[in-house]
Chains A and B, each alone.
Chain A
Amino acid sequence: MANLIELLPLLMFPVLGFFLFSGYPVAFVLGGVGLFFGLVGMELDIFNFKEFFLINSRIFGGVVENIVLIAIPMFVFMGLILERSGIAKELLQSLQIMTRRAPGGLAMSVTLLGTIMAATTGIIGASVVMISLMAYPAMLAANYDKKFTSGTIAAAGTLGILIPPSIMLVIMGDLLSISVTDLFMTALVPGLMLAVFYMIYIVFKNYNNKAVITVPTDLETDLSIVIFQGFLPAILLIMMVLGSIFAGLTTPTEAAGIGAFGALVLTVLKKKITWNKLWEMCDGTIKTSGMIFGIFVGATAFSYVFRSLGGDDLIINFMNGFSGGPWVIITVLMVITFLLGFFFDWIEITLIILPIFAPILNGLDLGGHVETAQILPWFAVLVAINLQTSFLTPPFGFALFYMKGVAPKSIKMNDIYKGVIPYIIIQISGLILVMIFPAIALWLPRILD
């Protein structure tokens, strides 16, 4: 019996999965299942009713008070302004014209946009929603199929967590007691490498794709007009956001606010706004924020109960059950991280695994494959790539939920689930490459030292 009680947290996953597919809102399924298992824990005397108090503490301390998350409503607002005013459409159309000779030019532009956006924030909710708002209508209008469009946007939107600056890398540095600057440098090349892989896949996939409209014919007439009216203003805006970060004017979080304000000013300058439209943009932002934070709040209740019932210990015992050479250990750690990614958010995963992984890794001898001093940063990047992937893996890919929340009604969860599969394969290939060739990650910090 005692053993069965210890296994209780594991039971949370199938129950969660079952109700998830019922079609009831994800946010409330998370919260409800968490609550239910807390009550079961009370019956079994391993949970105390008072412990639910911490759900409030977690919402307040982890979500409300978390300055970094301010980026979400701001970037969502910026994305909505750009979309509703038509500026996003003009930008992507001009990108489409400029890249018309490349197969899948528009899709590549979206990936490029994601890579650029990645440098502004590492907050997945913000970047995925913003890119979805801007790119979905344009890509669907250009006849890209729903699955490919969804996958491309999801992958581009999650790059932000890998490409510095990234809050995830900061927290990982904190938990592993390693330098964040080093970690930023270590993650940069692998992040860019993945972006390049995405683009190669896009070219490959669209090489003979006759269905995709590469250039809207009515727009091809005057390239300079397209560039000056569609491309430059929006690019200047994005550069302003990036610039304010790199010039040290603002933190990445504040840059989101600057971006929203800039987008609003641009809309006013282009005379594309009315009061009604502004309220519409506000309400859209409010609903999208409600959607994203609903998931945050539900997820924090779920993972809290999981942990409080001893879920961490289950995972730790499971990991300690493995023995073998260093490569076996590293592979097992990677697989566990990947599996956890099916259900948890990166922050919960890093809190479970990193403190346990660090001592294991510190004692590892990789026979010169990676210098002992560099095992931790190298491994951190492996985990980071893995966690970026976790945003994409069904059923619980948070990036997929956020996309679904703002995608056109014609997009079904199934399109998104299927569309990300090629990108997940790319991610895993990238991960394996960095494992085999550590220099991909370690080269840059080494030459900068």
Chain B
Amino acid sequence: MVILKRIVDYILKYTAYIGRFFLIALMLTIIIDVVGRRFMNTSSVALQELEWHFHGALFLLCLGFTYMEDAHVRVDLFREKFTDKTNRLIEIFGCLFFLIPYCTVVIYFGIEFTLKSYLANEVSSAAEGLSHRWIIKSFLPLGFLLLGLSAVSVLLNKSEDENG
């Protein structure tokens, strides 16, 4: 169990580090796009699409990491008044009945969604846009897989608390 949790946390942490790369890349792409368009008359459709590719990949990869780090917003009005045990049960209930089913559905249809794009060899609808749409689409099931993993990590954590 402990090893499993360590592996899951490791995966979440390192995929989030890839997010750092996407963040910096996004910023630099915007700069290159703006400078190029303004001063060098370069066409920028592909760069603009690259921007939202980076942006999408960035937030999808980090949904799970955010949960692992407990940075998702909670309405803590009653949370403080509940006992630790109640809060732990709420967390376990939420993971089992909200988060994991939700991730399962998005992953299931996300694979269909990506597959459709792959089989149709989908490209941008803009003339000079990017090709291979399935790559960015595959970040959808991937991101929700990571989010589901973070639920597993939290569950392992909570059951550990229970034992310890």
Determine direct contact between A and B, CB below 8 Å. Answer: yes
Residues on A lying within 8 angstroms of B by beta carbon are 19-29, 31-36, 52-53, 55-57, 59-60, 63-67, 69-70, 73-74, 77, 244, 249-250, 254, 256-258, 260-261, 264, 279, 282-283, 285-295, 297-298, 301, 395, 401-402, 404-405, 412-414, 417
Q: Name A64's contact: one of B55, B66, B78, B105 (CB within 8 Å).
A: B55
Q: 1/0 per residue B72-94: CB within 8 Å of A?
A: 11111111101000010011011
Q: Name B66's contact: one of A23, A69, A250, A287 (CB within 8 Å).
A: A287
B20, A279: Cβ atoms closer than 8 Å: yes
A288, B73: Cβ atoms closer than 8 Å: no
How near does chain B come to A397, taking the closest CB pair, in angstroms? 11
A289, B62: Cβ atoms closer than 8 Å: yes
Residues in B with CB closer than 8 Å to A56 are 106, 109-110, 112-113, 140
Main secondary structure of the interface of B (DSSP, over half): helix
A52, B109: Cβ atoms closer than 8 Å: yes
Cα-based distance from A56 to B102 in the complex (angstroms): 11
14 sample A-B contacts, Cβ–Cβ < 8 Å, listed by A number: A23-B78, A35-B98, A55-B109, A63-B59, A64-B60, A64-B140, A73-B58, A77-B27, A286-B16, A286-B19, A289-B62, A293-B60, A294-B72, A405-B72
How near does chain A come to B106, taking the closest CB pair, in angstroms? 6
Q: Does B63 contact A (CB under 8 A)?
A: yes
Cα-based distance from A292 to B66 in the complex (angstroms): 10
Do A283 and B98 form a contact, CB below 8 Å, given A73-B23, A74-B30, A254-B34? no
Q: Name B16's contact: one of A21, A35, A55, A283 (CB within 8 Å).
A: A283
A26, B74: Cβ atoms closer than 8 Å: yes
Cα-based distance from A31 to B43 in the complex (angstroms): 39
How near does chain B come to A224, taking the closest CB pair, in angstroms? 33
What residue of chain B has the Cβ atom nearest to residue A296's Cβ? B59
B38, A249: Cβ atoms closer than 8 Å: yes
A-contacting residues, B108-130, CB 8 Å: 109-110, 112-113
Of B20, B30, B59, B75, most buried by chain A (CB within 10 Å of CB) is B75
Residues in B with CB closer than 8 Å to A70 are 26, 30, 51-52, 55
What residue of chain A has the Cβ atom nearest to residue B31's Cβ? A261
Cα-based distance from A244 to B51 in the complex (angstroms): 18
Given contacts A64-B139, A249-B38, 6 further A-B contacts (CB under 8 A): A23-B75, A32-B94, A65-B52, A65-B56, A258-B34, A279-B20
A29, B98: Cβ atoms closer than 8 Å: yes
A293, B63: Cβ atoms closer than 8 Å: yes
How near does chain A come to B74, taking the closest CB pair, in angstroms? 5
Residues in A with CB closer than 8 Å to B72 are 25-28, 290-291, 294, 405
Do A290 and B65 form a contact, CB below 8 Å, given A73-B55, A283-B16, A405-B73? yes
B71, A31: Cβ atoms closer than 8 Å: no
Do A294 and B20 form a contact, CB below 8 Å, given A31-B98, A70-B26, A74-B26? no
